[in-house]
Structure 1
């Protein structure tokens, strides 16, 4: 186990997943990839472009989240890269994992998107069902 991906969005469940992933990476001397996905699919699915203000706000939040998470990992002696991506969270995380030879994906049991979860199902569920690598869902 050399490459661990943790899905992160700044929520309490994502914090727990991050803490778990940092501990796991530390035990295995693995590199940690902290990934936050900016989800604009609601706008695209409705056939409209997202307002520029909303896009900027989400990008700024994601960058702050990632910076804080990477600092936390590095403070605990874990090599970590922070990545912000745009797209459907589950599909984007799965694609990143595939493209980067990730060994384990760690996600929280729930993120911030409660309405989307009701309509489309949870991100963690989809990742667990479709991943080709081990997935750990932290509660």
Structure 2
């Protein structure tokens, strides 16, 4: 399978760092492979959050997302491929699938579990992505 564009779902967890390493290894096989690193920000959907508190929380979550993406940028700095970084708001599973479709990605790389701490083989996000993706998904443990 020839891969032209990869989306890496990245949250900074240990498993995501291993997924980043696998993405780099794949991208190194062909300099024309483009890589999108995607961090999703899931804001609470409760109507009971006070506006000022919500804005502070939103800003804090964006700052954290930017820090996570900066870490990924450092680790991918020597990669000669075109790499772009995205921080998007939304449900992680849906955002990953939408990004893969919108950007015509032909591979999704995702860690088996993220920062939620769920102790199962596949986390809820990776499980959903595997079962609903239109493109191949590489799950890294």
Structure-2-length-normalised TM-score: 0.86
Moved over 3 A (4+): 46-50
Indicate whether 1:113 and 2:99 are aligned.
no
Equivalent of 2:7 in 5, 27, 48? 5
User: Within 2, Cα distance between the matches of 1:75 and 1:11?
Assistant: 21
Q: Which moved more, 1:57-66 or 1:129-138?
A: 57-66
5+ long unaligned stretches in structure 1: none
Taking the TM superposition and a 5 Å limit, the aligned residue runs for 1:9-24 are: 9-24=11-26
Q: What is the CA distance between 1:54 and its match in structure 2?
A: 1.6
Give the corresponding residue for 1:47.
47
Deviation of residue 96 (structure 1)?
Answer: 0.6
TM-score by length of 1: 0.87
Contact residue 3 and residue 33 of structure 1 kept, 8 A? yes
Q: CA deviation at 1:64?
A: 1.2
Q: Deviations over 1:91-137 (max 9, x none)?
A: 0110010000001000001111237x99xx61001000000000000
Q: How does 1:58-73 map to 2 (within 5 A)?
A: 58-73=61-76
**Aligned-residue CA RMSD (Å):** 1.9
Question: Between Structure 1 and Structure 2, whose CA radius of gyration is higher?
Answer: 2
Q: Which runs of 5+ in 2 are unaligned?
A: none
* Partner Cα separation in structure 1 for residue 55 and residue 114 of structure 2: 23
